[in-house]
Amino acid sequence: MKKKKFLFSGIAAALTAGALLSTSAKAQKDWPTKSISLIDPFAAGGPTDSLARLIAVPMGQALGQTVVVENIPGAGGTIASTKVARAAPDDYTIYWHHMGLATANALYDKLPYNPMTNFEYIGQVADVPMVLLGKKDLPANNFKELKAYIRANDSKVTMANAGPGAVSQLCGLLFQNRMGVKLTNIPYKGTGPALTDLLGGQVDLLCDQTTQTIPYIKDGRVKTYGTTTLKRLPAIPNVPTLDEQGLKGFEVKVWHSMYTPKGVPKPDVKKRLKDANIGIVSADKMTSHGLKFVAIIKKPASASFFIVPSYRIIVD
């Protein structure tokens, strides 16, 4: 009798375990079964937010669920990074960040997370170029005149940025370093308000992503001194690069990638995320924003390919 009881108990346990595995496999296969949060570490209306919203709808359509952009701005993106690093690995939290995830280590002491170990890397989605802009009534009409104006006025010239850790700050600092000058840097709580003040003539310069600046460039509401690419952009072909105007090798491209909390995703989930982002936005739409859409890259599989070089840029 004891033997039979033990045998039945063993069979029951095996069936239960099998059922659990089957349920887990089915849940993974059916993923997603509810809306997905796409965490954006910057304020609504900025370039990172604009790009997140550009991909959220087609990504949701590909996955069969709504992708909701959730803005958690502050401290150069580190508030959102901390939240995602501590989030439960539930397959429904996706982190959308740019190279600021890498450079934060060099700008902030004692971060409560490690960008190399606290996130699962899904892949790179887009490269976004930047452009050096000036307020409309700035005396300099081209880059040659801007260099002379900066050397004559030095720290009287103001340069806006979206706050510590933002790529607009990084671009501005790299530009000043190459020029051998120190301008007066004005931090804002996001690129949106920085661009608003540039349009209003409250600040002189801003190095911003093309995601939201091209309409202002085309209608002449800002002065454009050059792109941070090595080749001219098809969206604004008449705007020369800073490289061709004398700042040889000056290149700042903002890579945007997707991550999840550590422990996510399972292989099937990761594959679904990758597949959903390949061809997610038409090439024409991305080009009109001055972007290079790279989809989800297959290689390298590690975020270190992007994070380590970006970290070195700011440290060196």
- Would you tell me how many other CB atoms lie within 10 Å of the CB of residue 108? 14
| Same-domain pairing of 196 and 170 | yes
Q: Which two tokens stand for residue 16?
A: 């239960």
Question: Does residue 13 lie within any of the structural domains?
Answer: no
Q: How far apart, in Å, are the Cα atoms of 46 and each of 49, 191, 205, 207, 212? A: 5, 5, 17, 13, 7
Q: How far apart, in Å, are the Cα atoms of 156 and each of 85, 142, 288? A: 41, 19, 35
Q: Which amino acid is at 208?
A: D
Question: Does residue 110 lie within any of the structural domains?
Answer: yes
Question: Does residue 232 lie within any of the structural domains?
Answer: no
Q: Which two tokens stand for residue 120?
A: 């699962």
Q: How many domains does the chain have?
A: 2
| CATH number of the domain residue 288 falls in | 3.40.190.150
pLDDT at 80: 95
DSSP 77: G
Question: Does residue 243 lie within any of the structural domains?
Answer: no
| Same-domain pairing of 147 and 292 | no
| Same-domain pairing of 100 and 46 | yes
| Same-domain pairing of 123 and 269 | yes
Q: Which two tokens stand for residue 48?
A: 């990172």
Give the domain extent around 64. Answer: 34-128+254-315
Report d(CA 27, CA 25) in Å as an integer: 5
Question: Does residue 2 lie within any of the structural domains?
Answer: no
Place of tokens 């997140």: 52
Q: Which two tokens stand for residue 208?
A: 């911003």
Question: Does residue 23 lie within any of the structural domains?
Answer: no
> Are 146 and 179 spatial neighbours (Cβ–Cβ below 8 Å)?
no
| Same-domain pairing of 72 and 157 | no
pLDDT at 146: 98
Taking phi over 0 as left and psi of -120 to 50 as alpha, with beta for the rest, 163 belongs to: left
Q: Which residues are CB-neighbours of 9 under 8 A, at least 6 positions away? A: none
Q: Which of 186, 208, 227 is the last residue of a domain?
A: 227
| Same-domain pairing of 124 and 159 | no
| Same-domain pairing of 220 and 137 | yes
- Would you tell me how many other CB atoms lie within 10 Å of the CB of residue 39? 23
Neighbouring-strand partners of residue 21? none
| CATH number of the domain residue 188 falls in | 3.40.190.10
| Same-domain pairing of 68 and 99 | yes
**Helix, strand or coil for residue 306?**
helix
| Same-domain pairing of 45 and 119 | yes
Q: Is the pTM of this model over 0.85?
A: no
pLDDT at 122: 84
Question: Does residue 166 lie within any of the structural domains?
Answer: yes
Question: Does residue 240 lie within any of the structural domains?
Answer: no
| Same-domain pairing of 72 and 83 | yes
Closest to 169 measured CA to CA, from 177, 181, 159, 161: 161
Q: Which of 212, 227, 242 is the last residue of a domain?
A: 227
| Same-domain pairing of 114 and 139 | no
Report d(CA 35, CA 182) in Å as an integer: 47
Length of the chain: 316
Closest to 125 measured CA to CA, from 98, 148, 146: 98
pLDDT string in tens for the chain (316-residue length) = 544 544 445 444 444 445 444 444 444 568 899 999 999 998 888 888 888 988 888 889 889 999 999 999 888 889 999 999 999 888 899 999 988 888 787 778 889 999 888 998 888 887 888 999 999 999 999 999 999 999 999 999 999 998 887 889 989 999 999 999 999 999 998 888 999 999 999 999 999 998 889 899 999 999 999 999 999 998 899 999 999 999 999 999 888 888 989 987 677 777 787 777 665 654 445 555 555 444 443 333 444 444 444 434 443 4
Q: Which of 227, 243, 273 is the last residue of a domain?
A: 227
| Same-domain pairing of 139 and 123 | no
> Are 81 and 47 spatial neighbours (Cβ–Cβ below 8 Å)?
no
